[in-house]
């Protein structure tokens, strides 16, 4: 990488690190001036790298990593409830552990959608990757339609929108909110297993062409 490109990469990283630090301090909606001041760059420089403070926030929250599904599910066996509780914990520990960062992410993504700058990748749908991995023992035991219903119902128990719904709309504290997410998850799994039992646990055969 050329020296000029190295400098640009360092400046961009400084802006993102400054944004992350402000989020970690509880600033759910940092301004571009605050970010620039923390990064020790000018406001104009910050704008050369990010169109808005929301863009920088979106990038920071998107870049933060979660425990991979295969690692979260190691040793869980085929117990679907245990598997789903594990992935719920990974996803929601991350999001409920930083509610202001989660709110900032939601604001950034919605802002990008409203101003026309959003892309399909703004929401990486990471929760669905975890849910799909956890549901593998039910593959073939539910019809494709049933499995899709279960998958999408479970998406309502984890994710950034769940944080704002339970903490801000329902006005729960994080512990009570997590009681709700695990209760809802358990209810959905119980219904999924009831559907499996209704056909005697037999594998779902493909439809004849």
Task: Indicate the average pLDDT of the chain.
Answer: 88
Question: For residue 140, what pLDDT band results from cuts at 50, 70 and 90?
Answer: confident
- Is pLDDT of 1 > 80? no
User: CB under 8 Å to 21, separation ≥6 — which residues?
Assistant: 38
Enumerate helices (H) and strands (E) in the chain, giving the number of each.
Answer: 11, 0
* Per-domain residue ranges of the chain: 3-60, 66-198
User: Does residue 176 or residue 204 have the better pLDDT?
Assistant: 176
Percent of the chain with pLDDT over 70: 94
Question: Mind giving me the DSSP string for 166-180?
Answer: IIIIS---HHHHHHH
- Return d(Cα 140, Cα 130) in angstroms, integer: 18
Question: For residue 187, what pLDDT band results from cuts at 50, 70 and 90?
Answer: very high
User: Does residue 106 or residue 137 have the better pLDDT?
Assistant: 137
Which 8-state DSSP code applies to residue 157? G
Architecture (CATH level 2) of domain 3-60? Orthogonal Bundle (1.10)
- Is pLDDT of 206 > 60? no
Which 8-state DSSP code applies to residue 142? S
**Residue 45, Cβ neighbours under 10 Å: how many?**
14
Question: For residue 173, what pLDDT band results from cuts at 50, 70 and 90?
Answer: very high
Lowest mean pLDDT among 3-7, 71-75, 99-103, 164-168: 3-7
State the residue for tokens 């494709």. Answer: 144
pTM: 0.74
Nearest alpha carbon to residue 72 among 84, 62, 86:
86
């Amino acid at each position: 990488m050329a020296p000029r490109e190295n400098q640009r990469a360092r400046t961009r990283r400084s802006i993102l690190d400054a944004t992350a630090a402000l989020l970690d301090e509880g600033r759910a909606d940092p301004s571009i001036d605050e970010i620039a001041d923390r990064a020790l760059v000018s406001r104009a420089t910050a704008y050369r790298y990010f169109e808005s403070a929301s863009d920088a926030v979106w990038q920071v929250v998107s870049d933060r990593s979660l425990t991979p599904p295969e690692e979260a599910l190691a040793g869980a066996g085929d117990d679907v409830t245990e598997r789903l509780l594990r992935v719920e914990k990974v996803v929601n520990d991350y999001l409920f552990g930083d509610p202001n960062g989660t709110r900032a992410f939601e604001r950034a993504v919605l802002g990008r959608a409203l101003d026309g700058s959003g892309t399909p990748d703004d929401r990486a749908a990471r929760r669905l990757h975890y849910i799909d991995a956890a549901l593998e023992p039910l593959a073939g035991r539910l019809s494709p339609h049933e499995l899709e219903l279960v998958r999408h119902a479970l998406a309502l128990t984890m994710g950034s929108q769940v944080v704002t719904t339970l903490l801000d709309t329902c006005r729960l504290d994080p512990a009570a909110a997590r009681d709700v997410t695990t209760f809802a998850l358990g209810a959905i799994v119980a219904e999924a297993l009831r559907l499996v039992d209704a056909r005697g646990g037999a594998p779902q055969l493909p439809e004849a062409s």
